[in-house]
Amino acid sequence: MFYFWFKRFYDTVLSFLGLIMLSPLFLVIVIFIKLDSKGPILFKQKRIGRNKKHFYILKFRTMRIDTPKDTPTHMLENPQQWITKVGEFLRKTSLDELPQIINILKGDMSIIGPRPALWNQYDLAEERDKYDVHKMYPGLTGYAQINGRDELPIPEKAKLDGYYVKHMSLWLDIKIFFGTIISIFKSDGVIEGGTGTLEKKKESKESK
């Protein structure tokens, strides 16, 4: 319990410092988004937070303004058609997630924790209930993100989130933080519309 509240303390301090240090990068991204396509700079979407309370997550907009709302990317038909040129780069490098530093500062999220599900991702929410995942603040990155990310089927993703809940510690947070940086540079598990890709690959091989 002590570490849970200590985590909230360093989340606040680090997110505040992060906003100041990354402000030049924010400005560059804002310029490129505006030059690339029409629409707002930020994208807001309703997500499931701690204790299943809803909040609006912030991201840099990476998709066209006519993209179907409240639809997970993996459920869109040909998701690539909706993504802007700048958006493709932002998503591949995870730079689109940077505005969530504001969510962390506000107390909606944590730096490390299970990624927040969409409000209508009932299948993921139900699986996470088995592991008490919703008692945690959702994170900018998490244990599942360094162990498969988009490739993971929902039950496996929820199980990894549950592992984090049970073994949460400063050491594990540090491991996830640096593991995320490595994954970003290697683009590990980043597949548009790719939730459950590992499972699909397995099924494809078995059917041959």
**What is the C-alpha separation between 76 and 163, in angstroms, rounded?**
30
**What is the C-alpha separation between 56 and 129, in angstroms, rounded?**
21
What's this model's pTM, rounded to 2 decimal places? 0.81
Query: What average pLDDT does this structure show over 52-66?
Result: 92
What is the reported pLDDT for 190? 52
pLDDT tens-digit map of 150-196: 678 999 999 999 999 999 999 999 999 999 988 887 765 455 554 55
Q: Quickly count helices (H) and strands (E) in the chain.
A: 7, 4
- Model confidence band, residue 69 (pLDDT cutoffs 50, 70, 90): confident
What is the reported pLDDT for 123? 92
If DSSP codes are grouped into helix, strand and coil, which group holds residue 170? helix
